[in-house]
Amino acid sequence: MKGFAKIFEAIIASIIVLASLTFFFVPATGVSRWDSTSLQVTADDVLQAVYLNGSLDRFVKTDNRTQLNSEVSGMLPKNVDFSIEVSGIPNDIIYVSCVDCPSSDELVAMLSPLNFQYKNRNISMRIDPLTLSSTSIPSETNILFFLDKQGIIDYHAKIDVFLNNGGSIFLLSDLTQSDVQGVIGNIFNLSWTGNTAQSAHFEDVFNPNKTSHYAARYYANLTNRTLESTASVNFPVDASGFHQNGVLANSDEKNIVVTNDQRAYARSNFTALNNKGRSVWFADYNRADHNAPTTKAIDSLVKAAIMWDSGERFKLDVIKKEPAPIHVKTGIFVFGEDPYLVELTVWNVFF
């Protein structure tokens, strides 16, 4: 009997030990990803459908937000919301704030006409003066435009915030060696080498890795040229054209207009701050008569550079939207006169 009792006690002890161990082990349960997978498939199908039926390209070219949103909405479940973003082509409306300009008249004269067509798309440039010392940057502003280089130094902190939020800046000004070796040189990625008097031209109109390709493409459209013909366009550096300057044309993808002896008269920076924001520095030029052929040509070059500087990224939402924390995204390249990317972001309204 004693032996049986000991065996029974051992069994009871084992049960108690096993029962206590269950406290430390939580049964593993698999998390289903079916909802997000189903949503991803739906988003892919919807974007493919509006692309294949021709609606996507047609509505992007005409900036028809209402029709595009209506068509996409009709294909998605009622409990799903979405946002549509286009990148790779100029914004349909480009908001330019001219910082500390007495008026916007001079900038308007450079960029006129402000409403124009780019490859069957209507583009509008909205120009407004901005006193940055006392006024906040309007939320819709794409570009802060400076005609006074001192403003880049005075508002350096505000510019950094603007760039970090994806904004762009444009400086049209002559520079000195000390300018290039300071704040201005850092923001616009400039180096100094010494003045030259050679005429300037697009660095490379055919390489899509370089900003010069996009500026030349926009310039060709604005001046009724072909892209190929812009390769032979020369911008004089003399009393009627660009002022002499000594900014170095660095061996990178950021030059827009250069001379044969490697001076730059327009340079871009597409990673102006923390890999965000765009900036363009543009040498000053003779602007006494905007009807003079040379001035008109450089005015068109300014306009082309602003089209690139605008960010080439915009939303086609009817109202401003922010995606839910949990969302899926799909994209498609549209290969037309200019290739561009359309991204559709979708999310469940109740998540």
pLDDT per position as a tens digit, 153-186: 999 999 999 999 999 999 999 999 999 999 999 9
* Residue-level pLDDT at 24: 46
Rounded Cα–Cα distance for residues 188 and 281 (Å) = 6
**Residue 336: per-residue pLDDT:** 76
pTM: 0.85
The two structure tokens encoding residue 175: 């520079």
Write the pLDDT tens digit of every residue in 99-144.
Answer: 999 888 999 999 999 999 998 889 999 999 999 999 999 999 999 9
Do 224 and 343 belong together in one domain?
no
Report residue 340 as tokens: 């561009």
Regarding whether 274 and 192 lie in a shared domain, the answer is yes
Q: At residue 28, does pLDDT exceed 90?
A: no
Domain assignment present for 322: yes
Same domain, 76 and 97: no
State the residue for tokens 């493919």. 48
Strand-strand pairing, 80-87 and 313-315: antiparallel
Give the DSSP letter of residue 310. T
Do residues 286 and 240 make contact, with C-beta atoms less than 8 angstroms apart?
A: yes
Mean of pLDDT values over 316-330:
92
pLDDT, position 4: 53
Residue 322 domain boundaries: 34-88+317-348
Q: Among 265, 259, 260, 269, which residue's Cα sits nearest to residue 245?
A: 265
- Give me the count of residues in the chain: 351
In a domain, 151, yes or no: yes
Per-residue confidence at 77, pLDDT binned at 50, 70, 90? Answer: very high
Phi, psi of 270 (to 5 degrees): -95, 5
Residues 207 and 67 in one domain: no
Query: Who wins on pLDDT, 73 or 5?
Result: 73
User: Is 102 found in the same domain as 81?
Assistant: no
pLDDT band at 6 (very low <50, low <70, confident <90, very high): low
pLDDT exceeds cutoff 50 at 27: no
| pLDDT-based confidence at residue 195 (cuts at 50, 70, 90) | confident
329 — alpha (psi -120 to 50), left (phi > 0) or beta?
beta
Three-class DSSP category at 231: helix
Is the model's pLDDT at 226 over the cut of 90? yes
Q: Do 129 and 264 share a domain, yes or no? A: yes
Judgement on whether residues 142 and 282 belong to the same structural domain of the protein: yes
Residue 347: is its pLDDT beyond 90? yes
Q: Helix, strand or coil for residue 197?
A: coil
User: How confident is the model over 238-256, as pLDDT tens digits?
Assistant: 999 999 999 999 999 999 9
Provide the residue type at 205 as one letter. V
First to last CA, the chain: 64
The C-alpha atoms of residue 302 and residue 282 are separated, in whole angstroms, by 8
